[in-house]
Amino acid sequence: MKSTYENPFNSRYASARMQELFSPDMKFRTWRRLWIALAEAEKELGLNITDKQIEELKRYRDDINYDVAEAKEKELRHDVMAHIHAYGEQCPSARGIIHLGATSCYVGDNTDIIIMSEALKLIRAKILTLVKKLSAFALEYKDMPALGFTHYQPAQLVTVGKRACLWIHDILMDLDDLDHVLGGMKLLGSKGTTGTQASFLNLFNGDHGKVKKLESLIAHKLGFKEVYPVSGQTYTRKLDSRVMNVLSGIAQSAYKFSNDLRLLQSMKEIEEPFEEKQVGSSAMAYKRNPMRAERISSLARYVIVDALNPAITASTQWFERTLDDSANRRISIPEGFLAVDAILNIYINICDGMVVYPCVIEKHIQDELPFMATENIMMEAVKRGGDRQIIHERIRAHSMEAAKKVKVEGKKNDLLERIASDPAFGMGIEELKSVLEPGNYIGRAPQQVEEFISEHVAPILKKSKFEEIAVELNV
């Protein structure tokens, strides 16, 4: 058992892959990829850099001498310079050309963009897995009537599948936002200390074309099409805010789903998976708490608030560079990704085993459907010669009395019996019950599910050609 603080994202929530992306090893290996790309591009553009030097850099790209780097950082109090020295010890012939013309943000900021891009791709794959599972659920239950709710009060019927489409629709909006931001991700490039590229212009003896080409070469070597056209020493921190807003949007959608599921589980209509030996409460052994949905709610709340960090950081930067962003970004951005990764893991896990209880759903419908059917009953009574206004008043009076029976006396809804015994309607109890077929009150819900999945969801899944991600919860 460790005696120091351990981040719960690592020990309990986030996937191993997302943790790897934001690990120190990923960061420092990416730094070396960037130094190699810089050296290669500078050589291609005519600087005195040899193939032997570049081969030496490549040989130690992933073999980082961390002990040397850590010792140097204690001495220099500068992480980038410490790793330059460490890399140089492994690559003595290339030592003099490592980081040539660059500033710390060349490796720091470009690495952040590379890692965030990869993390967004992982989030995207999990969203598609989630959408596929929710779509299957929606189609399976597209015809099953269920009480709709407005203001958390019983309203017109929907279907279980139609409600799931609301969850899908939200997450597809997030996917659209993610694709927009991911598609616009560019590298910082090689901008220098204040973004003017003065050091590189000096290296290339005033050749502006080569300085521009240098950035293009670096970008392509790292898998990017473009670099940001202007910057200070850092890329604009607006990018961090845009990325975190995408993560916040995903959290909002998941939060809505988790709240819906928690309410449905309280009503005993739908439950999240519950393991055979799972304990719901240390005191109340009978309980089946929606702990996974509650965890989504908890983590989502964190992400939504966390999105304020880069927003404030972006708005308070001074001129071309200030360092009050660094400590905040080291925490807020990785933890935003780790939290959303965990949220999606849980969301997918729930969708793998959601349990639907048709009998409970049907009971709740029958408790409320007599009230909802009153308009149909009124129309039928008028067809049989009744006065619409008189019938309306009789229904109102009977409804109030039936509601009183339910709410005040705790008895069953006897509205149908009241109407059957009222000669103004001229309808027997069996005739009235025939009006109460739930399928008559779901509108186009089944068709909406089919149309939504086939016209809006299926094309996205087909176009993406993704591999479905299987998730395993840490606890």
Conformational region of residue 236, where left means phi above 0, alpha means psi within -120 to 50, and beta covers everything else:
beta
Please tell me whether residue 355 adopts helix, strand or coil conformation. Answer: strand
How many CA atoms within 13 Å lie on the side-chain side of 97? 23
Cβ count within 10 A of residue 439: 12
Q: Is 151 in the active site?
A: yes
Torsion sign (Cα): 41, 42, 45, 50? negative
Alpha-carbon 165 to chain mean position: 17
Q: Is 281 in the active site?
A: yes
Cβ count within 10 A of residue 472: 8
DSSP label of 268? T
Tokens 């009503």 locate to 267
Please tell me whether residue 159 adopts helix, strand or coil conformation. Answer: strand
Which residue among the candidates 11, 93, 266, 281 is catalytic per the annotation? Answer: 281
Q: Which of 174, 185, 162, 182 is nearest to 128 (CA)?
A: 174
How many CA atoms within 13 Å lie on the side-chain side of 69? 19
Torsion sign (Cα): 356, 162, 337, 310? negative
Q: Which of 296, 340, 348 is nearest to 470 (CA)?
A: 348
**What phi and psi values does residue 158 have, to the nearest 5 degrees?**
-120, -160
> Which positions are catalytic?
151, 281
